[in-house]
Amino acid sequence: MIARRPVSLSLPGTITRYQVDVTDEQALAATAQDFIARHGPPDLVIANAGVSAGTRGEEIRDIASLRRVLEVNVTGLAATLAAFAPAMRTAGRGTLAGIASVAGFRGLAGNGAYSASKSAAITWLESLRTETFLLPPDEGARRIARAIARRPRLAVVPWQMALVSVALRAMPGWLFDRLAARAPRKPRT
């Protein structure tokens, strides 16, 4: 398990914990190499990098927030998977899984950085399918594990959010704009 902050999680099997910043590709690569040297290629890598910050498109100072959110949520996710993928490909086994958000299906007012990052993550993960093999926390982990075991092309956890994403994608732009304009805004930090 690789985490920026200490994580308390109970899973079956051997768990080796590392604390690393996913935006530090060299440290992430060294972490992956150490894990592989100790245990061999992993059976499963879940990239779940995510930070969020409220942003406004007319605020130039929010570009720094956008950059950081993209760096963690997109580049960090990609680097996590890339650090392990070669060894897994050589071994001919294992699953790479990335966690995104339904916020990536439509741009949400005041959440442009987060929505853009999750949209990019979804598209990145979608593109990887052709290149490589690919809630409360405990319940989310169980559902994600079940989804991974089924090996679908796309899984939305919980499944009800798939309905939300379909509705958001199908909604006419004028209606989405009207509803989104009234939605609560994420606090700017």
Domains and CATH numbers, the chain: 2-182 (3.40.50.720)
Which pTM value belongs to this model? 0.70
In whole angstroms, what separates CA 22 from the centre of its chain?
12
- Quote the CA–CA distance of 86 and 94 in Å, as a whole number: 11
Helix-helix angle 112-131:62-70, to 10 degrees: 20
User: For residue 176, what are the contacts with CB-CB under 8 A and spacing of at least 6?
Assistant: 106, 168
pLDDT tens for 142-153 read: 888 888 888 887
Residues involved in catalysis: 114
Burial degree of 141 (CB within 10 A; 0-12, 13-18, 19+):
middle
pLDDT digits (tens, 9 = 90+) for 25-74: 999 999 999 999 999 999 889 998 789 999 988 899 999 999 999 999 99
